[in-house]
Amino acid sequence: MSRHRLLRFVYWGVVLCLFLPLALVALASLGDGPVVGFPIARPTLGWYAIALADPEIVRAFLVSCAAAVASTALALAMGLWTSLAIASLASPALRTLLLCGACLPLVTPGIISAISLRIYIRLLGIDPGLGAIVLGHAIHSAPYVVIVVGLRLRLVPPHLVEAARSLGAGQIRAFCSVTLPWLRPAIGAAAVLALLESFDDFLRSFFLGGYRPTLPVLIYGRLFSGLSPEIGAIATLVLALTLSVGLSGEWLFWRTRTPQGS
């Protein structure tokens, strides 16, 4: 049993090590000087006011949100379509082939994904900017949708669809009133995942962005000019946002794994 105690000790130690740096981010936002240094003598909330009044930051936040929403919509549409197409194939070899092709962006290392997209948008005649970022993020997120939705698609009870069909529903009607509602939690979980992937993404935004940076790109730039509490304040707000979005997504995802939840 002492072995188990040791393992639990390791577990809580790592949890602490993972959360401690994030706690430092929140702490840093209270810093009293222009450069963060621990310990903080006189904590202040003033940096939040400064950060929120900075038009550059507000604009970057809005760019990030726009990119996240638009790329998630595109990734959901293509991911859902792809997982339905995969499920419709009779041959397992073809199914694997399409699945592998659809999941290719998952195994492409970040820098290569970013530069190949940068080259590609030039071929397509798209200028660097929000449109390019949306496309790049959607390409990156679509595989997650394919996987999460695909997991649940395999659990659709066939008798439900058959029942709908025998009651006279057409294929499309049966899909809309049986399959789609069944997939809803998976679509929700995939949407949250895609939103987070886009909102947090740095690499693709960095190489595909134009003059208006997304929030991670803005923070990246400022990290080179010292650790200011203002970055701490932005990062803390981002942290709170992503943690709460992530938590709600996880809740949806675990519901997709149980056959009952719909």
Q: Is there binding between residue 256 and another protein (CB under 8 A)? A: no
Burial of 102 (0-12, 13-18, 19+ CB in 10 A): buried
CA distances from 174 to 108, 178, 180 (A): 37, 6, 9
Rule CB under 8 A: choose which of 129, 165, 200, 262 binds another protein: 200
> In angstroms, what is the minimal distance from the CB of 228 to another protein?
10
What DSSP designation does 35 have?
S
Q: Is there binding between residue 58 and another protein (CB under 8 A)? A: no
Rule CB under 8 A: choose which of 44, 96, 166, 171 binds another protein: 171
Q: Is there binding between residue 11 and another protein (CB under 8 A)? A: yes
Burial of 89 (0-12, 13-18, 19+ CB in 10 A): middle
Q: Is there binding between residue 72 and another protein (CB under 8 A)? A: no
> In angstroms, what is the minimal distance from the CB of 67 to another protein?
13
Q: Which is nearer to another protein, 10 or 180 (CB)?
A: 10
Q: Which is nearer to another protein, 119 or 176 (CB)?
A: 119
Burial of 87 (0-12, 13-18, 19+ CB in 10 A): middle
Contacting range for another protein; rule: CB under 8 A; set: 1-9, 42-50, 55-63, 183-191: 1-9
CA 198 – CA 210 distance, rounded (Å): 16
> In angstroms, what is the minimal distance from the CB of 184 to another protein?
20
Q: Which helix (H) or strand (E) holds 66?
A: helix 55-88
> In angstroms, what is the minimal distance from the CB of 243 to another protein?
6
Q: Is there binding between residue 211 and another protein (CB under 8 A)? A: no
Sites for another protein among residues 19-48 (CB under 8 A)? 19-22, 24-25, 27-28, 35-39
Sites for another protein among residues 125-164 (CB under 8 A)? 135, 138-139, 142
Q: Which is nearer to another protein, 155 or 206 (CB)?
A: 206
Residue 33: phi and psi, rounded to 5, are -110, 180
Q: Which is nearer to another protein, 56 or 250 (CB)?
A: 250
DSSP symbols for 92-133: HHHHHHHHHHHTHHHHS-HHHHHHHHHHHHHHHTPPSSHHHH
Contacting range for another protein; rule: CB under 8 A; set: 49-57, 148-156, 177-185, 216-224: 216-224
Q: Is there binding between residue 220 and another protein (CB under 8 A)? A: yes
CA distances from 19 to 24, 25, 229 (A): 9, 10, 19
Rule CB under 8 A: choose which of 148, 191, 203, 252 binds another protein: 203
